[in-house]
Structure 1
Amino acid sequence: AGVTGLTTAICLLRDGYKNVTVLSKHVPGDISSEYASPWAGASILTVANHDDYRLQEMDGFAAKEFKRLADEEPEAHVQYCNGIQYSEQPGAPGEDVYWVRKIYSNVKEIPKDKLIPNVAYGYTFQSYTTNVPEYLKYLVRTLKKLGGHLQRQSFESIQEVIEQYTDVDTVINCTGLGSYYLKDVQDHTMYPVRGQTVTVRAPHIKTQHYIDGADRWTYIIPRGDGTVICGGTVDRVNRQTSPDDEITKSILERVYNLYPEITHGKGVDAFDIVAINVGFRPGRAGGIRLEKEIRRRSNGQKVTLCHNYGHSSHGFQSSWGASNKLVQLLNNERISKL
């Protein structure tokens, strides 16, 4: 039960759907590298390029919901957070400042003569961060408060679910990387993206920092509880589920070089490490899959199947927007894809 599945279920319940149950192999509180959501930062920072209007729309919708959560629901553990974004190459997300200004406040381009070395672009902004373990618990509470259910279960195909739950007329597939392995989905455009991060204790850090590179990201994301997520990696080749010491060293060195104040300028050895984390993001060629199709039970009954997966590294940022699109897709008989 990751951020996509839980958020989709909540959006369905808010739209008036009844008898909504989330089935999942993993639930919040589980520790597994294949369960991606708990390992996220998570910063609500768009990764949509200036010409990716589909993802821009989803991220814009999500930003409004995260603003509401920050303003009205402290139990969601979403907070406002100022940030600094740098890009090593031109044309990166956020370089179109007009687009970014539509969803974030206080967006200001950093003058070229004020940029740190070896970056092409930068801007400051205010968005949101969340304490991921607490936020996932909040989503579960909200699901149950609205009348939904969460049930631990694993299965090898969508058809298994359709045959087992004979009173169900709609199934939503939010299985992330699972869609590669489900026997009747086998979406081989899916690929795992290994992410390794380091959780450190640094309660004085109140600002998020990022450098987007061609093959790696460096970031500092405060979680609001005194801990900070330091990252990171974008690795499509490495399948190692345990932390790599050399990668940990590289992350801490890059983070320190980006913002030495994280250890009060005392060097890399002064980090107060809480945990080293490994998770696999659900990457997908072509981006998020939002599609609808008709499946049938063995007795011929029709069941509507919708897909909402392939969120890669932006599952939290796009969660509310993609889930809202899913509800639109389900409600409109004339469309099968968004």
Structure 2
Amino acid sequence: MSGETIVVGGGVIGLTSAVVLAEAGHRVRLWSPEGPGATTSAVAGGLWWPYRIEPEERVGAWALRSLEVYAGLLDRPEETGARLVSGVHAATPLAGLGAWAAEVDGLRAATEAEYTPGDGLWARLPVLDMPTHLTWLLRRLEAAGGRVERRTVTSLAEAAEGARAVVNCTGLGAGRLVPDAGMRPVRGQLVVVENPGVDTWFTHTGTGAESTYFIPQPGRLLLGGTAEAGADSLEPDPATAREIVARCAGLRPQIAGARVLGHRVGLRPERAGGVRLEREELPGGGVLVHNYGHGGAGVTVAWGCADEVAALVDA
């Protein structure tokens, strides 16, 4: 067994965990079967908000720590992918949020001019251009001495054979590798269009498989979406895409004529009981830290979870 730490999983959770560990002085190798651009994280809308993630009593601290980090990245958006953008969460009363909401500057009820139905929440929040942000994380990891290896893992024991500590950031893959029967995919479909002049974001998550949101990103506008629990197809559905555009155009008519640039589908890694972030002692003196099951909020909690991972590895 070497003194290395192996992080398994190359999405935003794995990359951020690897960065924090490497910058704390660990010799880190990150194993992933694919580059960051091929992960579920690359498909995400990138809006900071604790969406479809539990347990509530832990999520707030993780999210606020991440918010603090993103605030420090806003002066280099072309490099880090982080920008501050205003928008409205529909049907989201402030009183219904956790204690963490009191720590978010400027969070308030939307005015009637901002959202006509009157039950929205206005906020100015970080929006991450995920392909750019993932590339930045990769470069930061390499600058800290971390190594990235394109590798398919068939068992966590395989990683544990060659390292003092293993960090499991495999998302949906944890269902097979741990194994964890509580893991399930929640399918999200998006449409990417030329931005017709929309400079704010909007979300209405709803209660079923349909949601409505648009998020401006550099040179494009992301339209969503779906939250189909248990669905695992990565093929875009043309009828669903048309419905997404129609719902978004009902709120911003200029979206109806926007040229479609592409389609995205991602599978959110949701877990019964919420995020698993805990340490296991392994036979032979090694350590396994689990960090998976972040649902629809990986980028929202990535840095808070990564700090906790580092503390658990060093415990």
TM-score (norm 1): 0.84
Return closer, same or farther for 1:94/1:240 CA change in 2, 3 Å cut-off: farther
In 2, Cα distance between the equivalents of 1:48 and 1:292?
A: 23
Return closer, same or farther for 1:94/1:234 CA change in 2, 3 Å cut-off: farther
Map of 1:336 onto structure 2: none
Map of 1:221 onto structure 2: 215
**Per-residue deviation, 1:45:** 2.0
**Per-residue deviation, 1:141:** 0.3
Deviations 1:171-211 (A, max 9, x none): 000000111111xx110100011110011110622211111
1:51-130 to 2 correspondences below 5 Å: 52-71=56-75, 74-87=78-91, 95-96=96-97, 99-103=100-104, 105-110=105-110, 115-117=115-117, 121-130=119-128
Return closer, same or farther for 1:98/1:55 CA change in 2, 3 Å cut-off: closer
Deviations 1:59-86 (A, max 9, x none): 0110000111113575102111111111
Return closer, same or farther for 1:151/1:201 CA change in 2, 3 Å cut-off: same
Are 2:303 and 1:316 aligned? no
> Is the CA contact 1:110–1:124 (under 8 Å) kept in the aligned structure 2?
yes
In 2, Cα distance between the equivalents of 1:10 and 1:114?
A: 39
In 1, Cα distance between the equivalents of 2:176 and 2:16?
A: 23
Amino acid at match of 1:36: T
Map of 1:7 onto structure 2: 16
Unaligned residue ranges in structure 2 (runs of 5+):
1-9
SS at match of 2:300: coil
> Is the CA contact 1:204–1:226 (under 8 Å) kept in the aligned structure 2?
no
> Is the CA contact 2:52–2:297 (under 8 Å) kept in the aligned structure 1?
no
In 2, Cα distance between the equivalents of 1:248 and 1:161?
A: 40
Residue identity over aligned pairs, in percent, reads 30
TM-score (norm 2): 0.90
Return closer, same or farther for 1:61/1:203 CA change in 2, 3 Å cut-off: farther
**Per-residue deviation, 1:240:** 2.1
Deviations 1:293-334 (A, max 9, x none): 1223xxxx32100000001110111111111111222233xx
Unaligned residue ranges in structure 1 (runs of 5+):
333-338
Q: 1:29 aligns with which of 23, 37, 52?
A: 37
Are 2:165 and 1:170 aligned? yes
Q: Pick which of 139-148 and 73-82 moved more.
A: 73-82
Root mean square deviation of aligned Cα: 2.3
Amino acid at match of 1:60: L
Map of 1:273 onto structure 2: 260
Are 2:264 and 1:294 aligned? no
Return closer, same or farther for 1:237/1:94 CA change in 2, 3 Å cut-off: farther
Return closer, same or farther for 1:250/1:143 CA change in 2, 3 Å cut-off: same
Are 2:245 and 1:252 aligned? yes
Are 2:189 and 1:196 aligned? yes
In 2, Cα distance between the equivalents of 1:162 and 1:99?
A: 36
Higher Rg? 1
Return closer, same or farther for 1:204/1:94 CA change in 2, 3 Å cut-off: farther
Amino acid at match of 1:26: E
